Chains A and B, each alone.
Chain A
Amino acid sequence: MSAPIFVRFWGTRGSIPTPGHKTRRFGGNTSCVEIRSGESELVCDGGTGLRELGLELLQRRQPPRSVHLFFSHMHWDHIQGFPFFVPAYAPENELTVYDPGSGRVEELLHGQMRSDYFPVNFSDLGAKIRTRHFEAETARVDDFEVRCFEQAHPGRSFGYAFELGGKKIVYATDSELDRLLVNRDETERDAEKLRRLPSELVACVAGADLLIADGQYTDAEYPKKVGWGHARANTVVDLAHQAGVKQCAIFHHDPLHSDELVDQKIAAAKARLAARGSSTLVFGAREGLELKF
Chain B
Amino acid sequence: MTPFASSDKIPATVSKSAPFDLETTVAGDVSVVGGVALGEKLPTLEQVRGPGAPRRFALAAAETVVGRGQQAHVTIESTLLSRRHVLFRRSGHELSLVDLDSANGVFLNGVKAHAALLYEGDTIQVGDVVFVLHEAPA
Q: Which residues of A contact B (CB under 8 A)?
A: 6, 8, 24-25, 247, 281, 283, 286-292
Contacts and interface: CB of A to CB of B under 8 A. Distances in A.
Contacts of A286: 116-117
Contact of A292 (B96, B110, B114, B117): B114
A281 B117 CA distance: 20
A6 B99 CA distance: 12
Nearest to B119: A25
Contact of B116 (A24, A247, A290): A290
B114 A290 contact: yes
Contacts, number: 34
Contacts of B116: 286, 288-290
Contact of A291 (B109, B110, B113): B113
A6 B108 CA distance: 16
A24 B113 contact: no
B115 interface: yes
A283 B99 CA distance: 19
Contacts of A291: 111-114
A255 to B, nearest CB: 19
Contacts of B119: 24-25
Report, nearest first, the 9 A-B pairs whose CB atoms are least far apart.
A288-B117, A292-B114, A290-B115, A25-B119, A290-B114, A289-B116, A283-B111, A288-B116, A291-B114
> Interface on chain A toward B: helix, strand, loop, or mixed SS?
strand
B99 A292 contact: yes
Contact of B115 (A25, A247, A281, A288): A288
Interface of B: 96, 99, 108-117, 119
Given A25-B119, A288-B96, A247 B114 contact: no
B113 A290 contact: yes
A287 B113 CA distance: 12
Nearest to A259: B119
Given A247-B111, A287-B117, A292-B114, 15 more contacts: A25-B119, A281-B110, A281-B111, A283-B109, A283-B111, A286-B116, A286-B117, A288-B96, A289-B108, A289-B113, A289-B116, A290-B116, A291-B112, A291-B114, A292-B99
18 contacts: A8-B115, A24-B119, A25-B119, A283-B111, A287-B117, A288-B96, A288-B117, A289-B108, A289-B111, A289-B113, A289-B115, A289-B116, A289-B117, A290-B114, A291-B111, A291-B114, A292-B99, A292-B112
B42 to A, nearest CB: 19
Greatest chain B CB density within 10 A among A25, A247, A287 is at A25
A158 to B, nearest CB: 26
Contacts of A247: 111
A24 B110 CA distance: 20
A281 B113 CA distance: 13
A6 B116 CA distance: 12
A29 to B, nearest CB: 12
